[in-house]
């Protein structure tokens, strides 16, 4: 089975998982207290007739299984539902907010990988020496400190005290510079980076800490393999052993962690967007919950669930691509 | 053989500093390897064979350390200590630096073949790529020449379709084929000495036979010297020219291979030979060596073999013999570390024999003997001799 067929196969396997997610979110949304119609009317005195008309209009008068069926038929056609509260399609609402969240999560991963891999390799190389102890403390602090607190501290130090970086919002590099009031692209991009630094660090620290520890463990294990001893016995310089011989096989678990931690990163983005006043999907999600906007909550949950499942599939595929021992489901 | 040896090891000591104490894994061994020879290093598991061979490349990993002795290779000093002005031992100024070891000795002059072909190849790189890298590094060839050379060597060690196999990964090779790759790797770097650390132990007997034939054949053609580390006297008989028998970090007997088998001078060697089936002798039953080899962390007093030795006398518990020349054959010394030989003159003949254990024969029975003769030319392992 080739890589392409393997990809299709894994994507098909993801379908039952997605159906499961939809059932759970739908059930939770229906079990939650509060009546969306009354909420929409915001306490206005209306007669029962009007309420029933509204319910009929949005299909709320039908039994649960019919409503679920209607929801699912819409979903497979790409219709994520209609926000009664905001009177707009859920998909439109999410598309508007997806950019900042993706930008934030991706940059947090870039930050985490760019710092964790060199630090992890260094810690493995200097095992039980000062550099290793420092990295261990950094990792411990990074894992145990809540990201929103890191965010707040970063704002206090770098935005309030030192005043070197902005504390709120993002500048979107994909927008024309004029929209953000900048005169040229250079200034525009510099501004987007400056706005991104603090939230990126706040969100990326947890990932960095986890990845660094995994990288260290894997490198230590890899450095003890017989093929590393063999490379040494054939005169391969230690530098090359670290960069090549021990390095490559040590990266496989990193890919897994990156894929699986996507859910943590997306969850963290909800908090970080709130702290840094970023208009992303996370904030939209919080607003939707506060407004009991069930359609929106369900839509976002479905999409985040799908992103997570696809992340896992991509992890598997890249694993198969990097590790020659992984066969695509059959033996040769 | 009057010429200078290729490799000379003198009084080499390697110790491991563990929390429970100092493990004297290699405790003062001396031997030589001449050009074109296959020299055996034989002993039970834990005798210090592998540590000794890693010491030759200065690749002993922490907490292990070479603490004494001299290793000379073709006149260059791989390891030597000298006494400093303050009486402390320090590295001899002629000793090669770590960088020089890497650039001039490892791979280029002395190559290794490890025991486990499954673990010795990197699973995420192609077999050919790994071969090519080592050839490039140790023979200063360009990438394309090294590739051609790698393919030629793969063909040389009997791997079919070498061009195609070059692109494949280790997991696509069988154990025997991987060991062939490792042999190709060692030979392709054109070293003068190859340390083969139990290279056939992980293979089954038929594949082992093929590999031994291959090595014999290639050794003649390339005239490479070998140090063959093994626990298998059968393998020793098949390919070695001279043999060093190790017991608890020491060499207890050193002789040309025929001498060792027919003029055995150390009780341990004798016991090893009695515990394996031999095609040239018919015996009623095999005699295992009594007991287990003690730990190198706390070796017995006197001769280290005395608690298991059938010839042990009282003097053996007191006198610790080093290997001395007791005979000469083919211009090589036959050394043995046993006080019963006259050269020691410590009063062995007058000493009282030890009563305990060692002379008690096990009740092996019919089946044991049958299995022994059925195995015929098969190889007996000295590992776990006590359980047989």
pLDDT in tens, chain A (332 residues): 577 888 888 888 888 988 898 888 888 877 777 666 766 666 677 777 877 887 777 777 778 888 888 888 888 888 888 887 788 888 888 888 888 999 999 999 999 999 999 999 999 998 888 989 998 998 999 999 999 999 999 999 999 999 888 888 888 888 777 777 778 888 888 888 888 999 999 999 999 999 999 999 999 999 999 999 999 999 999 999 998 989 988 888 888 888 888 888 888 898 999 999 898 888 898 888 888 788 888 888 888 888 888 888 888 888 777 777 776 554 43
- Residues listed for chain B: 388
Query: Can you say how many angstroms the Cα of residue A115 is from the centroid of all Cα atoms in its chain?
Result: 18
Instruction: Collect all residues of chain B within an 8 Å Cβ-Cβ radius of residue A324.
Output: 123-124, 169, 171
Does A235 contact B119 at a Cβ distance shorter than 8 Å? no
Nearest CB partner across the interface for B137, out of A225, A234, A249: A234
Inter-chain residue contact A249 with B107, CB threshold 8 Å: no
Q: What is the tens place of the pLDDT at every residue in B287-344?
A: 888 888 888 888 888 899 988 888 888 888 888 888 888 888 778 889 999 988 888 8
Bridge partners, residue B9, by sequence: B31, B71
Residues A102 and A124 both lie in one domain: yes
Q: Which B residues in the span 46-75 are in contact with A, Cβ-Cβ below 8 Å?
A: 57, 59, 61
pLDDT band with cut points at 50, 70 and 90 for residue B51: very high
Q: Is the domain of A29 the same as that of A104?
A: no
Report the distance separating Cα B276 and Cα A157, nearest Å: 77
The distance of A128 to chain B (nearest Cα, Å) reads 13
Same structural domain, A252 and A170? yes
Q: Please tell me the predicted confidence (pLDDT) of residue A155.
A: 92
Range A166-169 contact pairs with CB under 8 angstroms and sequence separation of 24 or more: A166/A194, A166/A195, A166/A198, A167/A198, A167/A276, A168/A276, A168/A277, A168/A278, A169/A195, A169/A276, A169/A277, A169/A278, A169/A279
Contact call for B112 and A230, based on CB within 8 A: yes
Residue A152 counted as domain residue: yes
Q: Which of A234, A239, A240, A254 to mutate to test the interface with B (most CBs of B within 10 A)?
A: A234
**Range with lowest mean pLDDT among A311-315, B39-43, B112-116, B381-385:** B381-385
Does the beta carbon of B98 lie under 8 angstroms from any beta carbon of chain A? no
What is the DSSP pairing of strand A88-89 with strand A82-83?
antiparallel
Query: Is the domain of A80 the same as that of A112?
Result: no
pLDDT over 50 (residue B380): no
Residue of B107, B121, B171 with shortest CB distance to A235 = B107
Domain contains A317: no
On whether residue A86 sits in a domain, the answer given is: yes
B114 touches chain A (CB under 8 A): yes
Q: Cα(B260)–Cα(B43) distance, rounded to whole angstroms?
A: 14
Q: B106 and A233 in contact by Cβ < 8 A?
A: yes
Q: At B356, is the pLDDT very low, low, confident or very high (cuts 50, 70, 90)?
A: low
Residue span of the structural domain in which A137 resides: 92-290
Question: Which of these three, A256, A272, A290, is where a domain ends?
Answer: A290
Q: Do B112 and A248 touch (CB under 8 A)?
A: no
pLDDT, residue A327, reads: 63
A78 & A110 share domain: no
CB A236 within 8 A of CB B137: yes
3-state SS assignment for residue B353:
strand
- Give the Cα separation of A97 and A179 in Å (integer): 17
User: Which residue is it, tokens 């392992």?
Assistant: B381
**Cβ pair B106:A230 closer than 8 A:** no
The CB density around residue A29, as the number of other CB atoms within 10 Å, is 17
| Cα angle: A134, vertex A135, A141; to 5 degrees | 90
Same domain, A85 and A168: no
CB contact under 8 A, A233 and B133: no
Q: Do residues B215 and B196 lie in contact, with contact meaning Cβ atoms separated by under 8 Å?
A: yes
Question: What pLDDT digit, counting tens, does each position of B61-92 carry?
Answer: 888 999 989 999 998 999 998 877 777 778 88
Q: What is the pLDDT of residue A36?
A: 67
Q: From the list B107, B125, B172, which residue is nearest A233 (CB)?
A: B107
- Predicted complex ipTM exceeds 0.85: no
Tell me whether residues B124 and A249 touch, CB distance under 8 A. Answer: yes
Q: Spell out a b/e string for B143-162, using b for 16 or more CB atoms within 10 Å of the CB, else e.
A: eeebbebbbebbebbbbeeb
- Rounded CA-CA distance B155/B162 in Å is 6
Q: Chain A contact for B179, CB < 8 A? A: no
Q: Please report the number of interchain residue pairs, chain A to chain B, with beta-carbon separation below 8 angstroms.
A: 67
Token pair for B163: 């061009």
Answer yes or no: do A232 and B121 touch at CB < 8 A: no
Mean pLDDT score of chain B: 84
Q: What is the value of pTM for the model shown?
A: 0.78
The whole-number pLDDT of residue B164 equals 94
Going by their DSSP bridges, the two strands B193-197 and B110-113 should be labelled as parallel
pLDDT attached to residue B376: 42
| Element (DSSP H or E) covering residue B258 | helix B257-262
**Chain B nearest C-alpha distance from A254 (Å):** 15
- B271 lies within 8 A of chain A by CB: no
Nearest CA among B382, B111, B156, B376 for reference residue B247: B382
Asked whether the bond before B175 is cis by omega within 30 degrees of 0, the reply is no
Contacts of residue B125 in chain A, CB cutoff 8 Å?
248
Verify that A146 and A124 share a domain, yes or no. yes
Q: Do A217 and A110 share a structural domain?
A: yes
B126-177 confidence digits (pLDDT tens):
999 999 999 999 999 999 999 999 999 999 888 999 999 999 999 999 988 9
Tell me what pLDDT residue B360 has: 42
How does pLDDT run across B277-301, given as a tens digit for each residue? 877 777 778 888 888 888 888 888 8
Residue B383 has pLDDT above 70, yes or no: no
B138 CB within 8 Å of a chain A CB: yes
Q: Within a domain: residue A170?
A: yes
By the 8 A CB rule, do B58 and B12 touch? no
CB contact under 8 A, B138 and A226: no
Would you place residue B388 in the very low, low, confident or very high pLDDT band (cuts 50, 70, 90)? very low
Q: What is the full DSSP assignment across B92-123?
A: -TTBPPHHHIIIIIBTTTEEEE-S-HHHHS-T
Query: Which pLDDT score, from 0 to 100, does residue A331 have?
Result: 43
Return the structure tokens found at B204: 């089954």
Residue B368 has pLDDT above 70, yes or no: no
Same-domain check for residues A163 and A193: yes
Residue B23 pLDDT > 60: yes
Task: Write a three-state SS string for A185-239.
Answer: HHHHHHHHHHHHHHHHHHHHHHHHHHHHHHHHHHHHHHHCCHHHHHHHHCCCCHH
Q: Which of A39, A64, A90 is the last residue of a domain?
A: A90
Which CATH number is A96's domain given? 1.10.3720.10
Q: Does B169 touch chain A (CB under 8 A)?
A: yes
pLDDT at B381 over 50: no
Q: Which tokens hold the place of A72?
A: 């699912």
Same-domain status, A19 and A144: no
Q: Which pLDDT score, from 0 to 100, does residue A187 have?
A: 84
pLDDT at B358: 45
Q: For residue A130, what are the contacts with CB-CB under 8 A and spacing of at least 6?
A: none
In this prediction, residue B362 carries a pLDDT of 42
Q: What is the pLDDT of residue A157?
A: 93
Would you say B289 and B386 are in contact if contact means Cβ atoms under 8 Å apart?
Answer: yes
B153 part of contact set with chain A, CB < 8 Å: no
Q: Which of A235, A238, A252, A322 to mutate to test the interface with B (most CBs of B within 10 A)?
A: A235
Tokens of A112: 């985490």
Which chain B residues are closer than 8 Å to A225 by Cβ? 119, 122
DSSP, collapsed to helix, strand or coil, labels residue B329 as strand
Query: Which segments of B214-344 are extended strands (E)?
Result: 225-230, 242-247, 250-256, 324-329, 332-336
pLDDT at A107: 93
Domain count, chain A: 2
Contact B122 A325 (CB under 8 A): no
If asked whether residues A119 and A50 sit together in one domain, one would say no
Query: Residue A211 is encoded by which pair of tokens?
Result: 């990845």
How many degrees, rounded to 5, is the angle at CA A240 between CA A131 and CA B116?
Answer: 100
Neighboring chain A residues of B124 at a CB cutoff of 8 Å: 248-249, 322-324
- Encoded tokens for B57: 């490349």
pLDDT at position B13 over 90: yes
CA distances from B326 to A6, A137, B368 (A): 70, 62, 35
Model pLDDT, residue B366: 41
Average pLDDT over every residue of B187-208: 87
Q: Are residues A283 and A207 in the same domain?
A: yes
Q: Tokens for A78?
A: 């790409």
Do the Cβ atoms of B107 and A245 come within 8 Å? no
B111/A229 CB distance under 8 A: no
Pairwise CA distance, residues B318 & A285, whole Å? 84
Query: Helix H segments across chain A?
Result: 3-31, 36-41, 48-57, 64-76, 90-125, 130-144, 147-154, 185-223, 226-233, 238-240, 247-250, 252-260, 262-275, 281-290, 294-322
Please, which residues bridge with residue B196 across strands?
Answer: B113, B228
Rounded distance, CA A69 to CA B214, Å?
71
Residue B76: exposed, middle, or buried by beta-carbon count in 10 A (0-12, 13-18, 19+)?
middle
């Amino acid at each position: 089975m080739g890589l392409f067929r393997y990809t299709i196969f894994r994507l098909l396997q993801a379908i039952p998982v997605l159906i499961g997610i939809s059932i759970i979110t739908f059930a939770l949304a229906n079990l939650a207290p509060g009546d969306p119609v009354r909420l929409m009317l915001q306490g206005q005195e209306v007669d029962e007739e009007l309420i029933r008309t509204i319910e009929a209009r949005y299909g709320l008068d039908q039994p649960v299984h019919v409503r679920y069926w209607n929801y699912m038929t819409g979903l497979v056609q790409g219709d994520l539902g209609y926000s009664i509260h905001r009177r707009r399609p859920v998909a439109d609402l999410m598309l508007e907010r997806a950019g900042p969240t993706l930008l934030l999560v991706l940059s947090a991963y870039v930050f985490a990988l760019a710092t964790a891999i060199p630090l992890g390799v260094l810690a493995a190389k200097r095992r039980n020496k000062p550099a290793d102890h420092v990295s261990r403390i950094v990792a411990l602090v990074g894992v145990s400190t809540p990201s929103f607190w890191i965010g707040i501290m970063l704002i206090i130090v770098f935005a309030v005290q030192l005043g070197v970086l902005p504390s709120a919002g993002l500048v979107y590099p994909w927008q024309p510079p004029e929209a953000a009031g900048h005169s040229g692209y250079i200034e525009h991009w510099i501004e987007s980076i400056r706005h991104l630094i603090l939230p990126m660090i706040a969100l990326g620290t947890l990932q960095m800490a986890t990845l660094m520890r995994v990288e260290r463990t894997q490198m230590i294990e890899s450095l003890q393999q017989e093929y590393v001893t063999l490379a040494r016995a054939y005169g391969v310089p230690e530098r090359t052993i670290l960069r090549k011989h021990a390095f490559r096989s040590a990266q496989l678990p990193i890919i897994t962690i990156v894929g699986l931690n996507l859910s943590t990163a997306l969850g963290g983005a909800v908090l970080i967007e709130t702290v840094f006043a970023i208009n992303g999907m996370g904030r939209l999600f919080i607003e939707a919950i506060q407004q009991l906007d069930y359609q929106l909550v369900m839509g976002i949950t479905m999409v985040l669930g799908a992103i997570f499942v696809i992340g896992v599939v991509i992890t598997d595929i890249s694993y198969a691509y990097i590790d020659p021992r992984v066969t695509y489901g059959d033996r040769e | 053989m009057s010429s200078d040896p290729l490799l000379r090891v003198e009084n080499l000591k390697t110790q491991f500093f563990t929390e429970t104490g100092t493990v004297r894994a290699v405790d003062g061994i001396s031997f030589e390897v001449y050009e074109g020879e296959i020299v055996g290093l034989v002993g039970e598991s834990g005798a210090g064979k592998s540590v000794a061979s890693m010491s030759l490349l200065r690749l002993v990993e922490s907490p292990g350390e070479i603490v004494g002795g001299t290793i000379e290779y073709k006149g260059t000093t791989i390891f030597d200590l000298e006494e400093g002005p303050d009486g402390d031992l320090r590295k001899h100024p002629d000793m090669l630096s770590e960088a020089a070891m890497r650039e001039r000795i490892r791979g280029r002059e002395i190559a290794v073949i490890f025991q486990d072909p499954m673990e010795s190849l990197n699973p995420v790189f192609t077999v050919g790529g790994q071969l090519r890298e080592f050839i490039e590094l140790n023979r200063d060839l360009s990438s394309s020449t090294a590739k051609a050379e790698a393919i030629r060597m793969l063909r040389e060690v009997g791997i079919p379709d070498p061009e195609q196999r070059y692109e494949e990964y280790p997991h696509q090779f069988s154990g025997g084929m991987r060991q062939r790759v490792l042999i190709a790797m060692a030979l392709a770097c054109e070293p003068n000495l190859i340390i083969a650390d139990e290279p056939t132990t992980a293979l089954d007997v038929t594949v082992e036979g093929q590999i031994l034939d291959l090595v014999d054949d290639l050794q003649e053609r390339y005239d490479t010297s070998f140090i063959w580390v093994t626990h298998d006297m059968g393998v020793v008989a098949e390919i070695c020219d001279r043999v060093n028998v190790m017991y608890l970090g020491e060499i207890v007997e050193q002789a040309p291979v025929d001498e060792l088998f027919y003029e055995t001078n150390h009780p341990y060697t004798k016991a090893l030979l009695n515990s394996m089936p031999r095609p040239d002798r018919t015996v009623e039953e095999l005699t295992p060596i009594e007991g287990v080899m003690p730990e190198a962390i706390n070796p017995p007093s006197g001769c280290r073999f005395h608690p298991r030795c059938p010839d042990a006398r009282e003097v053996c518990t007191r006198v610790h013999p080093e290997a001395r020349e007791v005979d000469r054959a083919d211009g090589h010394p036959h050394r043995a570390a046993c006080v019963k030989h006259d050269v020691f003159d410590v009063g062995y003949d007058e000493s009282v024999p030890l009563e305990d254990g060692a002379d008690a024969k096990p009740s092996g029975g019919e089946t044991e003997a049958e299995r022994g003769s059925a195995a015929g030319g098969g190889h007996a392992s000295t590992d776990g001799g006590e359980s047989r």
